[in-house]
Chain A
Amino acid sequence: MKKKYGSSVLDISFRIITPFTLIYGVYVYLNGEISPGGGFQAGALLAVGVVLARLIMGAENKIYNVSGRSAVILAGVGTFIYALTGWVTMLRGGKFLDYGFLPFAIGSHGGHMWPALHATGILFIELGVTLCVMMTIIDILDVVVERTDIE
């Protein structure tokens, strides 16, 4: 331990909880098909990891921090990923979010729904939801903290 953040309790809990929470968020996102969880919960978990690092280490840490401006931009990017999945299927001749028309060679026969292709489409949508929820939570915390720091 080279540098401590506050007390030893904060230091050790930061070193254990933050990496565990981030990896658990990724696990919940990838395993959301067959277990409880999904995009919203995974995004909230990832945001909790970043927010804990922000609260313990302060705004000047460079490892786990996401600034307010890039948080807003990335939230928009997450929404765009969701919409792009739908638009790709529309451009290929299907309806909005018609997963059978996704351009992957897992096996699509004229819009017939295959389970692997369906899972892939859900994965892309959940990626957009995860990014949007995570960055929105981080941005709300950023706004609240900055408003208290000014006064």
Chain B
Amino acid sequence: MQNLIIEAALLLFLIGTTVSVIVLKDLLSATFVYCAFSYCAVLLYLMMGSPDVAFTEAVIGVVSTIYFVVALKKLDRWCK
């Protein structure tokens, strides 16, 4: 029962972060919210019992966040 509650909360947080990544006008904020999405996915993978996938997701979340932030040097920060 406790596991179900925690999993439901994580899933709700996952949906919230996904919607806010789409809605946000500030691309830098969207990048960091995407990082939060990645770590939420890490916790979900851990709860479902696959630490290998969780480890990969954690590392790749860091790498993709770095890529997005570096690419934002060229782009405009605010999308119209």
The reply on B70 being an interface residue by CB < 8 A is yes
Task: Classify the secondary structure of B's interface with A.
Answer: helix
**20 residue pairs from A and B, CB less than 8 Å apart:** A36-B51, A36-B54, A37-B52, A40-B56, A41-B55, A44-B56, A44-B59, A44-B60, A44-B63, A45-B59, A48-B59, A48-B62, A48-B66, A55-B66, A55-B70, A144-B71, A145-B70, A148-B70, A148-B73, A148-B74
Taken together as a complex, chains A and B put the C-alpha atoms of A47 and B16 apart, in Å, by 31
Q: Residues of B with Cβ closer than 8 Å to A?
A: 51-52, 54-56, 59-60, 62-63, 66-67, 70-71, 73-74
Closest to A147 in B: B74
**Which residues does chain B contribute within 8 Å of A145, judged by CB atoms?**
70
Residues of A with Cβ closer than 8 Å to B?
Answer: 36-38, 40-41, 44-45, 47-48, 51, 55, 137, 140-141, 144-145, 147-148, 151
